[in-house]
């Protein structure tokens, strides 16, 4: 089954890092791939060892050093 891609970003969680892929800025577009696993492999990720999340907006990452207090 072919996937449709409306999202602009793909966040990949793996190897103790979070990577943000800008899907429509690359030489190959998301619709050029058969599925997400193939897309992840193209970008150099092993789909068996990472999680991912599509997003239509660029996420803001908060770096929290100390516990939040009320």
pLDDT at 46 exceeding the cut of 50: yes
Q: Let me know if residue 44 belongs to a domain.
A: yes
Q: Let me know if residue 51 belongs to a domain.
A: yes
Question: Tell me, what's the pLDDT at 67?
Answer: 86
Mean pLDDT in the chain? 88
Number of domains in the chain: 1
pTM: predicted TM-score of the whole model, two decimal places: 0.78
Q: Let me know if residue 14 belongs to a domain.
A: no
pLDDT at 70 exceeding the cut of 80: no
pLDDT at 44 exceeding the cut of 90: yes
pLDDT at 1 exceeding the cut of 80: no
Q: Let me know if residue 38 belongs to a domain.
A: yes
Query: What is the C-alpha separation between 68 and 59, in angstroms, rounded?
Result: 20
């Amino acid at each position: 089954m072919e996937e449709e891609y409306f999202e602009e970003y793909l966040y990949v969680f793996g190897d103790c890092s979070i990577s943000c892929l800008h899907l429509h800025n690359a030489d190959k577009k998301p619709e050029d791939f058969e599925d997400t696993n193939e897309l992840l492999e193209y970008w150099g990720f092993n789909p068996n060892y990472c999680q991912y999340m599509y997003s239509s907006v660029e996420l803001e990452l908060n770096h929290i050093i100390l516990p939040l207090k009320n």
